[in-house]
Amino acid sequence: MSSNSVVLAVGSHTWTPDNTTELDKLLNVMRKHKISIIDTARSYGLGASETVLGLKKLANEDTPVEQQMEAIQTLYKQETFEAFGVSNFTPEQVIEFYNYAKSKGYVLPTIYQSSYSLAVRQNETRLFPTLRKLGISIQAYSPMAGGLLSKTPEYIEQGKGNWDPNTPSGKIFRDLYYKPSYLKMLEEFGKLSEESGVSRSGLAYRWVRYHSALKAELGDEMILGSVTAQQLEEAVTELDKGPLDAALVEKLESLWQLIKDDAPIDNLISVRKVVRGFA
C-alpha cells in the first residue's frame, strides 16, 4: 500500500438497526483494517446519527445563509459537533457560506462531500479548485458511481434492479447514466478489466484512492459504500494491492473523454426531476 494513501471511511446509508448481526460483522471488518470513520446523515438509521460531524448534506435555498450560519454557529459553540462540512453545494454556495462565516468569525466549512469516480469527474474542474483555494478537504463518496461501474451494458439494457424504469431509483439512474456514451464507456471498462486481470471494482476503487485528484496530505478521504461485511472486506483487500500500473491508469483516464460531455454535474437534478414526476 502507498504510504500516501487517502484515508478510508465507510458509508452507513444502507445500514438498518434490524440487522445487528451484519452490522457487527461490518464493524469487525472496519476494526480489522483500522478504519475508524463512519459516514452518516440525518436520514440514515433512526435519524439521529450526526453527533460528531456537523455536515449539511443539502443546501437549503429557502433559508437565508445568515440564518443558517447563525444556527450552525450556535450548535458549534454548544459543542454539538467538531467540524463543519457541506455536501451537494454549488461552488457559488460554498463560497457564500465560507465568506459569511469568515466575516462573522464563525466556524468555517472544512470538509466537502462529493460524488467522485471514474464515471463522475466534473467536479475536478468545476468545484475542486474552489475547495483547494479555501482549504476545504474532500470526502469522495460513490467510487463505484452507485454500482454503475460493476455493470455491463447488457445488464443495464435488461432494465433490472436499479435500472428498472418503473421504479424511482431506476428513473434516477437512467436519467444519470442511461446514455450511449456511458454504455460505450462500460464496454471499454470491461475490456480493460479482462485484459489487466483486475476486477471492475478493483479498477474503480484503486483509481480513486491512488490516481485521482484526491490528496492524502490535504486531508482527503474516500468513502466505501459496502452493504455487507464481505463486500467491505473485498473492497479493502483490493485497495491494499496498491496503485495500478501506469499504462493501465493512462487507459482508464482516456475513458473520461467518452463521457465527459454527458456526465452529470449534480445528481440532485435527476433526483428532483423524479420526485416531481411522482408528486
Lookup result for grid cell 478493483: 202
Q: pLDDT tens, 43-91?
A: 444 444 444 444 454 566 678 999 999 999 999 999 988 999 999 899 9
Q: Is the pLDDT of residue 2 over 70?
A: no
Q: With 0-12 CB in 10 A as exposed, 13-18 as middle and 19+ as buried, what is 225? A: buried
Q: Is the pLDDT of residue 262 over 60?
A: yes
- Alpha-carbon separation of residue 215 from 4, 18, 49, 227 (angstroms): 8, 37, 27, 26
Q: pLDDT tens, 169-223?
A: 899 999 999 999 999 999 999 999 999 999 999 999 999 999 999 999 999 999 9
Q: pLDDT tens, 219-255?
A: 999 999 777 889 899 999 999 999 999 999 999 999 9
What is the full DSSP assignment across 119-188? Answer: TB-THHHHTHHHHHHHT-EEEEE-TTTTTGGG--HHHHHHT-GGG-TTSHHHHHHHHHH-SHHHHHHHHH
Q: What is the pLDDT of residue 76?
A: 95
Lookup result for grid cell 493512462: 250
Q: What is the pLDDT of residue 238?
A: 94
Please answer whether residues 234 and 206 qualify as being in contact, where contact means their C-beta atoms are separated by less than 8 angstroms.
no
Between CA 261 and CA 206 the distance in angstroms is 24
Q: What is the pLDDT of residue 55?
A: 47
Angle at 264 between CA 170 and CA 279, to 5 degrees: 45
Per-residue b/e over 163-183, b at no fewer than 16 CB within 10 Å? beeeeeebbbbbbbbbbeebb
Q: What is the pLDDT of residue 53?
A: 42
Q: What is the pLDDT of residue 26?
A: 87
Lookup result for grid cell 469568515: 102
Ordered by start, the domain boundaries in the chain are 7-278
Residue 105 phi, psi dihedral angles, 5° rounding: 75, 25
- Alpha-carbon separation of residue 154 from 163, 201, 212, 219, 253 (angstroms): 11, 18, 28, 39, 23
Q: pLDDT tens, 12-53?
A: 776 666 778 888 888 898 899 888 888 765 444 444 444 444
Of 98, 96, 93, the closest CA to residue 108 belongs to: 98
CATH fold of 7-278: TIM Barrel (3.20.20)
Q: What is the pLDDT of residue 40?
A: 65
Q: pLDDT tens, 98-153?
A: 999 999 999 999 999 999 999 999 999 999 999 999 999 999 999 999 999 999 99
SS3 label, residue 17 = coil
Per-residue b/e over 17-45, b at no fewer than 16 CB within 10 Å? eeeeebbebbbebbeebebebbbbbeebe
